[in-house]
Amino acid sequence: MRASEMVQKTMRGNRVKKMGLKVRNQMLISAFFPKYKEAVGLDEGIAETERRFQELEYHLPEQRSAKKWGILTKRNVAGTFSRAAAIKKRPLLEVDWQPLLFAELGWLKDETAAVSVLDFGAVPDGVTDATGAFERAMGNGGRSVSIPEGEFLISGLRIPSNTELIGAGTDRTFLKMKEDAPKFRQGIRNRNLFRGNKRIRLEGFTLDWDADRFPKPERSASGGIASSGITLANVKFALVRDVRVLRPGLHGIDVTSAYYSYKGDGTTSRLRSRYVWIDRVETSGFGDDGITTHHSDFIYISHCYAHHPSGRAHADGFSNSNGIEVDDGSRHVVLHNNATEECFGGVEVKAHQTSSAAYDTQIIGHYSKADNRAYNFRHIGHHREGDEFSGTAIGIRATFLVALSPKPTPLYQKSEPRALVVSAYQKVSISYFAVSDDLHSQVLAVQYRASHVVIAHIFYLGKKPRIVLGKETEDVRVSEIKQWS
């Protein structure tokens, strides 16, 4: 059976809205790995990846001269890894810190007062500005704000601590940015960037940031952490669930710090977000990345679908628009049962040259379709001879990955398609990797100072992929590539 035929058969007669993102993604991945859909099989795959991960060494570069740090920047402390996630209790994947988050969300449920945004003057007619009504409904927090069916115009909402915004569903409740809302304004953002906020829950609505209100070729984002659909900056304990984000100028969802640190590898930002769960989110038309993390700890992203970016936050033809990105200074991030389509990178785990790399990332089940680089792990500026070795690009565990037909993209015109790229990262364990392409022989590249990397159980449909190992690699072990049956 051809790869395209198998996917069409799997999805025939089903629609995303009808089955839900969780089931949709699970079906797509389990079409390649049948054991993925059963708890026992999923745990077995995770455990196999973990065994190899624990056996892998890694080395830190020699101690460098003291870094600059201060009120907003600190040293990046690495060296511990989260325990392997597990599916022992259906239907949730267990991660280390979930009980803590559940306790805080339970407090939020029990202690907030239920109100409706309609009681504060909102009119769901798609014409009346409802921003003020939302602000009055939220007050200074301690409110669970119900958003009924209809379309509400907003110019950007600022969410205080101890607040819920609960809609009637992504196909019934719509929040849309006003035509004259400033470009720098996020659709939804926590209220206090530098003091931070706690206990925020967003659920059950579609947010349309509407980047098309700015004419092309004007870029859709104004820089920094501005212009995203939903931004959580310096937030502790948050849940974003059953939300759709359309046409954001920058990111669909950005879990980040209030301030980006670029004082070099080995440093990171203070004012970080922690204990955030992004669940069953769909985002499209994003100017940069669909779902991204920066300088944040303990993030869980599950059952999401990021697809068809606009790339308009970048120059035409140079858009590094990823579906899901674990970026600068992020630590202890778990991705589970997600899907991406038509992006530059499906999943990118990385950092810029002047920041610490994302550290200790787990990927459990991902379906990448027609992304230019299905899986891209790198630390920019720490790849080649003459560059400093990365001291933080360490620790990736990945199990049950599908790369379906990576292809050239107008987003980044000079980028060659790749099923997998590992550069600069150490201690990388990947198990159960399926490459499917009827037309081209795809490439899995381990290169540019990558070390202590093991890839086991590689399968293909269609054209057999090629393994490319760079000269500056160390301790790279790749299993035999087998035809899928």
Tell me whether strands 230-233 and 188-190 are parallel, antiparallel or unpaired.
Answer: parallel
Please report the pLDDT score of residue 92 as a whole number: 74
Q: Which residues are bridge partners to 429 per DSSP?
A: 397, 454
Number of domains in the chain: 1
pLDDT value, residue 408: 96
For residue 336, CA distances in Å to 69, 123, 398, 472 come to 34, 38, 10, 31
Per-residue pLDDT of the chain (485 residues; tens, 9 = 90+): 565 565 555 555 444 445 799 999 999 999 999 999 999 999 999 999 999 999 999 987 764 544 556 777 777 766 789 999 988 766 678 898 999 999 999 999 899 999 999 999 999 999 999 999 999 999 999 999 999 999 999 999 999 999 999 999 999 999 999 999 999 999 999 999 999 999 999 999 999 999 999 999 999 999 999 999 999 999 999 999 999 999 999 999 999 999 888 888 988 898 999 999 999 999 999 999 999 999 999 999 999 999 999 999 999 999 999 999 999 999 999 999 999 999 999 999 999 999 999 999 999 999 999 999 999 999 999 988 888 999 999 999 999 999 999 999 999 998 999 999 999 999 999 999 999 999 999 999 999 999 999 999 999 999 999 999 998 899 999 999 999 98
CATH at residue 423 = 2.160.20.10
* 424 occurs within a structural domain: yes
Residue 122 domain-assigned? no
Residue 201 maps to a domain? no
Q: Is residue 395 part of a domain?
A: yes
- Percent helix, strand and coil across the chain, each rounded to 5? 15, 40, 45
Distance from C-alpha of 310 to C-alpha of 411, rounded to nearest angstrom: 8
**What single letter denotes the amino acid at residue 246?**
L
The per-residue pLDDT for range 36-85, each reduced to its tens digit, is 999 999 999 999 999 999 999 998 776 454 455 677 777 776 678 999 99
Does residue 194 sit within a domain? no
Question: In this structure, is residue 372 part of a structural domain?
Answer: yes
- Computed over its alpha carbons, how large is the radius of gyration of the chain? 22
Spatial distance between the Cα atoms of 288 and 371, rounded to a whole number of angstroms: 14
Show the domain range for 104.
Answer: 3-58+74-112+209-483
Cα–Cα distances in angstroms (integers) from residue 217 to residues 211, 212, 213, 272, in the given order: 12, 11, 12, 34
Residue 105 belongs to a domain = yes
Report d(CA 199, CA 367) in Å as an integer.
Answer: 31
DSSP 219-244: -S--STT-S-SEEEESEEEEEEEEEE
pLDDT on residue 14: 44
pLDDT tens digit string along 196-243?
A: 999 999 999 999 999 999 999 999 999 999 999 999 999 999 999 999
Query: Cα angle vertex 117, ends 116, 121, to 5°?
Result: 125
Flag whether 154 is in a domain.
no
